[in-house]
Amino acid sequence: MRRVALVTGVTGQDGAYLSKLLLEKDYTVYGLVRRSTRYALANLDYLGVTSDLDLIEGDLGDEASLINVVRRTHPNEVYNLAAQSFVGSSWDQPILTTDVDAMGTLRLLEAVRHFAPQARFYQASTSEMFGNSHENGLQTEETPFHPRSPYAIAKLYAYWIVNNYRDSYGMFCVNGILFNHESPIRGPEFVTRKISRSVAQIKLGLSQRLGLGNLHSRRDWGFAGDYVEAMRLMLQQDAPENFIISTGETHSVRDFVQAAFEHVGIPDWEARVYIDPAFRRPAELFCLQGSSRKAREKLGWQPRVRFRELVAMMVDADLQRLRQGAA
């Protein structure tokens, strides 16, 4: 029997990579798509999987649509990737962010509890929940949470309600606590893609300068294609447990900018970058560096793509897109 997966957030970065992986593993994949989808199907098209998916309309804000999709699809595995995922926007739209990221998770859990209680449930939790909390510079599964944005607070509710449904109803529910992961189809509002796209534009003479906020923030950046493998592995375990997924390396935004300019052979990059206060945040996370030891030991997972390779992959993809005339 083919396994059936239901993926929310299928049009986003992770939804596209996860769908590709599940199709390669011979799953039937249903994707939940909003009527007003932001990315349309560009990410799925980029990875060449659109025609192999079954897309069903629904919204995490609408319980009826979630009940409908769970009843129609009879999933063995549910991956809840849908979210208002941009931290910066969560200060501008805190109520929407909370409704989708916190309440939306609860709505989906309820639909699964009533109509597919045996399904295994993956929740896209985030390193943002840690805030500036750390233990000797690292975040582990035991590090206390101290969220610093409306996004992180909504995700923390989702984290706990997922744990609660596991404890209360015996459902197979897990949280993947993923650190930042990027790719050529990362949304252009996130800093890595903003940099890769701007550097490609500057290289091709289509732009002159790049305006950024805090250059000193440090993130543990991995490749999305590696991280979706961990999501699937978490649902294949004998017992449901939460896992951190990270590279264990940290780099600053400045490091990313420098690596991107160096990759295209522009050494005098500092003259091309200016600080734009509009991109500073009301509360910042200074340094994320995750320990994925538990995932390495129990899931047998490890990241393959290293920092410089990731930067090069993203810049090259943007160069190629621009040369082909894409915006």
Q: Is 149 in the site for ligand NAP (CB under 6 A)?
A: no
- Out of 4, 6, 12, 234, the only residue in the binding site for ligand NAP (CB under 6 A) is 12
Q: Is 11 in the site for ligand NAP (CB under 6 A)?
A: yes
- Out of 6, 231, 253, 315, the only residue in the binding site for ligand F7E (CB under 6 A) is 253
- Based on CB atoms, which residue is closest to ligand NAP, 36 or 136? 36
Q: Is 34 in the site for ligand NAP (CB under 6 A)?
A: yes
HEC states along the chain?
CCCEEEEECCCCHHHHHHHHHHHHCCCEEEEEECCCCCCCCHHHHHCCCHHHCEEEECCCCCHHHHHHHHHHHCCCEEEECCCCCCHHHHHHCHHHHHHHHHHHHHHHHHHHHHHCCCCEEEEEEEHHHHCCCCECCEECCCCCCCCCCHHHHHHHHHHHHHHHHHHHHCCCEEEEEECCEECCCCCCCCHHHHHHHHHHHHHCCCCCCEEECCCCCEECCEEHHHHHHHHHHHCCCCCCCCEEECCCCCEEHHHHHHHHHHHCCCCCHHHHEEECHHHCCCCCCCECCECCHHHHHHCCCCCCCCHHHHHHHHHHHHHHHHHCCCC
Task: Tell me which of 151, 159, 165, 227 is the catalytic residue.
Answer: 151
Q: Is 110 a catalytic residue?
A: no
- Out of 88, 91, 96, 302, the only residue in the binding site for ligand F7E (CB under 6 A) is 88
Amino acid of residue 139: Q
Q: Is 57 a catalytic residue?
A: no
Contact stretch for ligand F7E (CB under 6 A) within 16-24, 83-91, 304-312, 314-322: 83-91
Q: Is 31 in the site for ligand NAP (CB under 6 A)?
A: no
- Based on CB atoms, which residue is closest to ligand F7E, 135 or 189? 189
Nearest to 152 by CA among 94, 106, 110, 105: 94
Q: Is 128 a catalytic residue?
A: yes
Q: Is 273 in the site for ligand NAP (CB under 6 A)?
A: no
Identify what 35 binds: ligand NAP, ligand F7E, none; CB under 5 to 8 Å per kind. Answer: none
Q: Give the shortest CB-279-to-ligand F7E separation in angstroms.
A: 4
Would you tell me the crossing angle of helices 191-203 and 307-323 to the nearest 10 degrees? 50
Q: Is 202 in the site for ligand F7E (CB under 6 A)?
A: no
Q: Is 248 in the site for ligand F7E (CB under 6 A)?
A: no
Q: Is 254 in the site for ligand F7E (CB under 6 A)?
A: no
Distance separating alpha carbons of residues 241 and 141, to the nearest angstrom:
10
- Out of 21, 22, 70, 83, the only residue in the binding site for ligand NAP (CB under 6 A) is 83
Q: Is 178 in the site for ligand NAP (CB under 6 A)?
A: yes
Query: Which parts of this chain interact with ligand NAP (CB under 6 A)?
Result: 8-15, 32, 34, 37-39, 59-61, 81-85, 100, 124, 126, 178, 180-181, 187
Query: Which parts of this chain interact with ligand F7E (CB under 6 A)?
Result: 85, 87-88, 126-128, 179-180, 189-192, 194, 212-214, 217, 219, 253, 279, 281, 284-285
Active site residues: 126, 128, 151
